[in-house]
Amino acid sequence: MDLKRTFIDLMPAPFVRFVAAPYVAGKSLAVEVAKVDQLQKDYGLHSTVDLLGEEVFKREDVEATVAIYLRIIEAVKDRPYASISLKPTQLGMNESEDYAHANLRQVVAAAAVHGIHITVDMEDHTFTDATLRIFKKLRDEFDNVGIVLQSRLFRTAEDIRNLHAKPCKVRICIGIYREPAEVALQEKPDMKAKLFEYVGLLLDLGHYPEIATHDEPLVRRCLAYLEQRGVPQGAFEFQMLLGVPRTALQREIVKKGHVMRLYVPFAEEWQYAIHYLKRRLAANPMMAMYVLKNLFSR
Ligand X SMILES: Cc1cc2nc3c(=O)[nH]c(=O)nc-3n(C[C@H](O)[C@H](O)[C@H](O)COP(=O)(O)OP(=O)(O)OC[C@H]3O[C@@H](n4cnc5c(N)ncnc54)[C@H](O)[C@@H]3O)c2cc1C
Give the active site residues: 121, 171
Give yes or no for residue 240 binding ligand X (CB under 6 A).
yes
Amino acid at 25: A
Give yes or no for residue 266 binding ligand X (CB under 6 A).
no
Q: Give the count of beta carbons closer than 10 Å to the beta carbon of residue 229.
A: 10
CB nearer ligand X, residue 230 or residue 296: 296
Q: Which residues does 11 contact at the CB level (< 8 Å), separation at least 6?
A: 278, 281
- Tell me the CA end-to-end span of the chain in Å, nearest whole number: 38
CA distance 27 to 38: 16
Residue 198: which of 180, 225, 165 has the closest Cα?
225
Amino acid at 13: A
Q: Write out the binding residues for ligand X, residues 130-149 only, by CB under 6 A.
A: 148
CB nearer ligand X, residue 29 or residue 262: 262
CB nearer ligand X, residue 282 or residue 287: 287
Q: HSE of 150 in the Cβ direction (CA atoms, 13 Å)?
A: 26
Residues near ligand X (CB under 6 A), total? 24
Return the range that interacts with ligand X (CB under 6 A); candidates 8-16, 38-46, 125-133, 238-246.
Answer: 238-246
Q: At what angle do helices 247-255 and 216-229 cross, to 10 degrees?
A: 10
Give yes or no for residue 250 binding ligand X (CB under 6 A).
no
In the complex, least distance from residue 149 CB atom to ligand X, rounded to whole angstroms = 9
Cβ atoms 97, 133 nearer than 8 A: yes
Give yes or no for residue 263 binding ligand X (CB under 6 A).
yes
Give yes or no for residue 239 binding ligand X (CB under 6 A).
yes
Q: Write out the binding residues for ligand X, residues 20-49 only, by CB under 6 A.
A: none
Give yes or no for residue 214 binding ligand X (CB under 6 A).
yes
| Interface pick for ligand X out of 213, 260, 274, 278 (rule CB under 6 A) | 213
Q: Mark 167-186 with x for binding to ligand X (rule: CB under 6 A) and - for no binding.
A: ----x-xxxxx---------
In the complex, least distance from residue 148 CB atom to ligand X, rounded to whole angstroms = 4
Amino acid at 112: A
In the complex, least distance from residue 121 CB atom to ligand X, rounded to whole angstroms = 3
Give yes or no for residue 215 binding ligand X (CB under 6 A).
yes
Q: Could you tell me how many residues make up the chain?
A: 298
CA angle 278, 273, 280 (to 5 degrees): 30
| Interface pick for ligand X out of 11, 193, 241, 249 (rule CB under 6 A) | 241
DSSP 8-state secondary structure symbol assigned to residue 2: -
Cβ atoms 287, 19 nearer than 8 A: yes
CA distance 88 to 56: 9
CB nearer ligand X, residue 59 or residue 285: 285
CB nearer ligand X, residue 74 or residue 262: 262
Q: Counting Cβ atoms within 10 Å, is residue 103 exposed (0-12), middle (13-18) or buried (19+)? A: buried
**Which positions lie near ligand X, rule CB under 6 A?**
121-122, 148, 150, 171, 173-177, 188, 212-215, 239-241, 244, 263, 283-284, 287, 290
